[in-house]
A and B are shown apart, each in its own frame.
Chain A
Amino acid sequence: ETGVTQSPTHLIKTRGQQVTLRCSSQSGHNTVSWYQQALGQGPQFIFQYYREEENGRGNFPPRFSGLQFPNYSSELNVNALELDDSALYLCASSLPGEETQYFGPGTRLLVL
C-alpha cells in the first residue's frame, strides 16, 4: 500500500509569487486535509477536501486555495506569497468515515 506522497519536497519562492503544492493520498483514502506548520509550532489546519469539494476551512485568507481531483489527489495553491508563508506544508489523508489522518512527508516552502 502506497502512503501519502507530496511534491516538491523543498521550494524557494520570492514575495508576491504564486506556488502550487501537490499531494497524492494513501490508497482508498478519499479525504485530504492540508496543514501549515511554522517552525516550533504545531500544524495549523488550512482546509479539507472530500469528494472534490471543500469540506471545511481554517483561519487562512482566500489566497490559500485548493483542489481535489477524482483520484483523490489534491493541490494547495498560495497566491501573493508573503514572508510568513514560509513553513512546512503537510497533507494528510483519511479513509471514508474514519477520523485518523496519516501525513505525507511535507513540502518545505521558503519565501524570500
Chain B
Amino acid sequence: QAGLTQPPSVSKGLRQTATLTCTGNSNNVGNQGAGWLQQHQGHPPKVLSYRNNNRPSGISERFSASRSGNTASLTITGLQPEDEADYYCSAWDSSLNSVVFGGGTKLTVL
C-alpha cells in the first residue's frame, strides 16, 4: 500500500515555529483529511489532531493542523524541548480501503 510523504527530519530552535508537511493524493488527504500523531521514543503514539484541525482535549493550542489540497500541515509554535519527537500523519484511503501513514518526521529542537 502506498503511503503519505513526510520529510524525514526537521530542526528548529527553542521557542521557534516548526511546520511539518504531509503529502498524499485525492483519495486520502485531499478527500478524507489527515490526522497527526506524536510519538516519543519507547512510547505509543499520541493523537494531536484528527480530520485536519480537530484537537483532542488536553492537547496544547501550540499544535495546529491545516490542509491545502492534497497536503496537510502541522504547525507547532513556541517549540519546547518536550516537542522533540517523531511525528506521523495518517489518512483513510478510499481507493485502497485502508489507513495510510507517512514515514514520519523526526523533529529536533535545538
Is A bound to B?
no
Residues of B bordering A, CB below 8 Å:
none
